[in-house]
Amino acid sequence: MTDMIIIEEATGEIGTEPENRSVETLLTYGIVNIDKVKGPSSHQVSDYVQKILGITKAGHSGTLDPAVTGVQPVAIGRATKVTQFLLKSAKEYICVMHVHKDLEPSVIKEALSKFIGKIQQMPPVKSAVKRQLRTREIYELEVMEIEKRDVLFRVKCEAGTYIRALCNDVGKKIGGAHMACLRRTAAGAFNEDDNLITLDDLRDALYYYKEKQNEKYIRYCIQPVEHALKYIKKAYIFDSAILSMSHGRDLGAPGISKLENFQKGETVAVMTLKGEVVAVGTAEMSAVQISTDRKGLAVKTSKVFFEATKEDLEKLNKENQIARAAAEKEDSEKETTEKENSK
């Protein structure tokens, strides 16, 4: 668990805990972790989610070829703002690579081990990007099983890495190889253990909710958007700072109650004290500097998620009135003390 720096303890009254959102809210502001099957493209999967839920907007976490299966998080409604962070996040795959001649397992393992770290890749002919040499990083590469000419391996890599190209490049070192089968097992904060569902599961869950008034299955299928930000460092703000940030303002250091230990330049999720994401931005100071100086611009906002409800606004107005009354009382007492001292 990430260390938390407590600046000033506080309790949040604004907003709702993500796990307590209404189903109606989740249906326009959440994420579904789809188990993509062979056949449809990633865009088609997003379109299917839209049609099933009857919404106007959905976005996926990174393109998968039609023949590739596995983890395909799809953000719905207002939550599509989070897809830019999913697109840039690390991915993990299980791949079957077929080598073109009989080789000793040790030879195959040695060849694969040389591709851990920074590598140069040329995207395949059929790809969504311009074909030019580019650098990508392989974080982990583990050979799980070798059976004759078929090699089963797990790879964790930087976003935008082409596993088909990886297999071809390995093949150039050992006399030929190609990708025979590929499944994505993780995309950013989501893996196969994080409520992975099929499109049919989603359709059935919606039926039970609408026709049987049973929320259990739809709540399992649609996750709060905050789940996508699991690996992004966070800053938790006082209620008094929420409204201005929800209108796109940057975050000043005095508005922060507690924060995780991030560095200047890191992406930071700004949260309410109830755990709702307000905005995402870039740290203009390190967490240590923020907690020490307590002044200046802390986070420059890039994406706003929070929308204040009527109830939130009423609570904020009440809090502001109480704060003003307390300030006026303090000023009055200070003025009275000064007059008494001057006598």
- Please list, in sequence order, all residues whose beta carbon lies within 8 angstroms of the beta carbon of residue 128, skipping any fewer than 6 positions away: 63
CA distance 166 to 274: 43
* CB-based contact 59:75 (threshold 8 Å): yes
H, E, C per residue of 243-305:
HHHHCCCCEEHHHEEEEECCCCCCEEEEECCCCCEEEEEEECCCHHHHHHHCCCEEEEEEEEC
3-state secondary structure of 89: coil
Tell me the HSE value of 319 on the side-chain side, using a 13 A CA sphere: 16
3-state secondary structure of 236: strand
CA distance 109 to 86: 31
Q: How far is CA 17 from CA 27, 171, 276, 316, 318, in A?
A: 16, 50, 6, 17, 21
* CB-based contact 127:142 (threshold 8 Å): no
CA distance 19 to 219: 9
- Out of 65, 169, 250, 312, the active site residue is 65
CA distance 281 to 272: 15
Quote the crossing angle between the two packed helices 42-53 and 199-212, to the nearest 10°. 10
CA distance 32 to 271: 21
Active site residue 250: no
Task: Give the active site residues.
Answer: 65
